[in-house]
Amino acid sequence: MGLTALCPGTFDPVTNGHIDIIERAAGRFDALVVGVLDNPSKEPLFGAEERVGMLKEAVHALGNVEVEAFTGLLVEYATRRAADVVVKGLRAVTDFEYEIQMAQMNHQLAGVETLFMTTSPQWSFLSSSLVKEVARFGGDVSTLVPEHVAARLAEKLRGMA
Ligand code: PNS
């Protein structure tokens, strides 16, 4: 039986940094589930279905990757999907404090193991929040997110103006 990894996140929207982690994790596990948190109280710019759609388009060439939305506790979702490990990307030391807390909590709650992958240096500055901020002020995000995501961002922000 193969190993399944779960890559969870908000992905509002997916960035080239996320895709880097997904591609590299997909190369190391037999199956990779990308779990998109559907939590409207976080007030994401994109709804869960939109975020899933953008991710699916971004990873369509990866045959062992599945993308879907989830609600509730990550450990419950990980158990339901029979994930062997959770994989998260670490950009810098600033990510570490929050990530280690979540990893330890998930281990305490259900024995779920988290493996960290270091983000490729070229994307270590990149976050969905910064991409949204740059886009809101009319900046060019075409080198930071896939083309279709840049287009959806522009469309979404135009609709809000
Ligand atoms: O992309 P993000 O915002 O870093 O992803 C955070 C995410 C979705 C992995 C985290 O918020 C999460 O797991 N949420 C589900 C609810 C949950 O299990 N909370 C307790 C975490 S210890």
Atom of ligand 1 nearest to the CA of 12: 1
Per-residue pLDDT tens digits of the chain, which is 161 residues long: 799 999 999 999 999 999 999 999 999 999 999 999 999 898 999 999 999 999 999 999 999 999 999 999 999 999 999 999 999 999 988 899 999 999 999 999 999 999 999 999 999 999 999 999 999 999 999 999 999 999 999 999 998 87
pLDDT of residue 93: 85
Ligand 1: residue whose CA is nearest its atom 10: 9
Examine the residue annotation and report whether 136 is marked as an active-site residue of this protein.
Answer: no
Catalytic residue among 51, 91, 132, 152: 91
Specify the 3-state DSSP secondary structure of 46.
coil
The gap between the terminal CA atoms of the chain, to the nearest Å, is: 51
Task: Kindly report the CATH class assigned to 4-124.
Answer: alpha beta
61 CB neighbour count, 10 Å cutoff? 7
* Length of the chain measured in residues: 161
Domain boundaries, the chain: 4-124
Angle value at C-alpha 90, between 88 and 96, nearest 5 degrees: 105
Going from the Cα of 56 to the center of ligand 1, the distance in angstroms, rounded, reads: 20
Q: Is any ligand 1 atom within 6 A of the Cβ of residue 105?
A: yes
| Dihedral angle sign, alpha carbons of residues 18, 20, 26, 28 | negative
Question: How many angstroms separate the CA atoms of 20 and 123, rounded?
Answer: 8
Q: State which of 74, 87, 108 you would mutate to test the pocket of ligand 1, scoring each by most atoms of that ligand within 8 A of its C-beta.
A: 74
CA distance 77 to 109: 13
